[in-house]
Structure 1
Amino acid sequence: MRLFCQDESRFGLKTITGRRITARGVKPVGKVRWQFKAMYWYGVVEPATGEYFFWECSHCNSDCFQIFLNLVAQQYSDSILIIQVDQAGWHKAKRLQVPENIILMFQPAHCPESNPIEQVWQYLKKRLRWKSPNTLDELRELLREQLLVLTKETIASITGRASILEALSVARL
């Protein structure tokens, strides 16, 4: 048995702004885009090992979530996965057919901070700050570059909260 944390995140052409080093009293200057084209990335991470799986989709809905669950089930077919998910409507859809090696564990409503994968999304978006891709393909390439350099050790350091790792060691998952 393995514990994974799952969530989706929106990545769009609207520039992500953030802090920049400038002289005292000088506001940072950068190119900003206001396009509202976007794509969604689904992901699962395992806090204990840093293992991860990401998949791009055009929407957040039960159809895309079903495909994602099937891909995760295939990727980790040798294990039973307990996957922490939020209470989004597509996670609870009646027509959703959860694969046999997956158990969905719903986190409390309105508590995104309880899901460690949220920090992974923040980590990735921080690295996309001030980038101004012209198309979704350029954004996709930037994100893929970030995912290629993302290591299991980095994921484990971001998601491996002491409380989670302690609970896993007691449960012997």
Structure 2
Amino acid sequence: MGHIIHVFGIKPICAFQQVFKSTWLSGAFSPITGDHFQLILPHCNADNFQVFLDNFSKENPKELKIMVLDNGRFHKAKKLIIPENIVLVFLPPYSPELNPAEKMWAKYKREFSNKFYNSLEDVEDFITNVVKATSKKEVMSICGYSYVFLDKIWAI
């Protein structure tokens, strides 16, 4: 005669708090020269975007920097003070495919995915190494959208 076996799961009860830590990589990439500037920041908000703009403006300070951006709220915050050597150009809504930087973010995400990190510092170290290994030639290849080189559309 067969036996009937009852299997019960036991759910332990204990105090638990899910904790997430994050860091943000902000960046600008030139499809023309291959120059790139990235900064690891603790949050993705207007205050940190201001930090990015201020630091980016100090890189080759005599150079005019035209930044193509999506319509993120923090990109358009009223409290932002745009440095004199930076011009912000906003893409039409819901058109990330027009932003050359999106391809760089995809590249970085592929390199970052499916890896285990013991700490946020390990994540930042990995990001720093990936950024340092990014060549100008790679940036030009990835970000070289044809519309960037059509001088008749730039009426700034």
Question: TM-score by structure 1 length?
Answer: 0.74
Out of 130, 136, 148, the residue aligned to residue 164 of structure 1 is: 148
Number of matched residues?
Answer: 138
Out of 118, 125, 142, the residue aligned to residue 126 of structure 2 is: 142
CA deviation profile, 1:112-152 (whole Å, cap 9, x unmatched): 11101011011111112221001111111111111121100
Deviation at 1:75, TM superposition (A): 0.8
Opposite residue 101 of structure 1, the aligned amino acid is N
1:79 and 1:89 mapped to 2: Cα distance?
26
Does residue 56 (structure 1) correspond to residue 40 (structure 2)? The answer is yes
1:95 and 1:86 mapped to 2: Cα distance?
18
Match of 1:38 in 2: 22
Does residue 68 (structure 1) correspond to residue 52 (structure 2)? The answer is yes
Match of 2:67 in 1: 83
Deviation at 1:76, TM superposition (A): 2.5
Opposite residue 32 of structure 2, the aligned amino acid is A
Unaligned runs of 5+ in 1: 1-33
Out of 74, 95, 111, the residue aligned to residue 127 of structure 1 is: 111
Secondary structure of the residue aligned to 2:23 is: strand
2:96 and 2:153 mapped to 1: Cα distance?
24
1:120 and 1:42 mapped to 2: Cα distance?
11
Give the ranges of 4+ consecutive aligned residues of structure 1 lying more than 6 Å apart after TM superposition.
none
Kindly, what percent of the aligned residue pairs are identical? 31
Question: TM-score by structure 2 length?
Answer: 0.81
Opposite residue 37 of structure 1, the aligned amino acid is K
1:170 and 1:111 mapped to 2: Cα distance?
17
Match of 2:82 in 1: 98
Higher relative strand content = 1
Q: CA RMSD in A?
A: 2.0
2:112 and 2:66 mapped to 1: Cα distance?
31
2:111 and 2:22 mapped to 1: Cα distance?
17
Opposite residue 143 of structure 1, the aligned amino acid is I
Secondary structure of the residue aligned to 1:65 is: helix
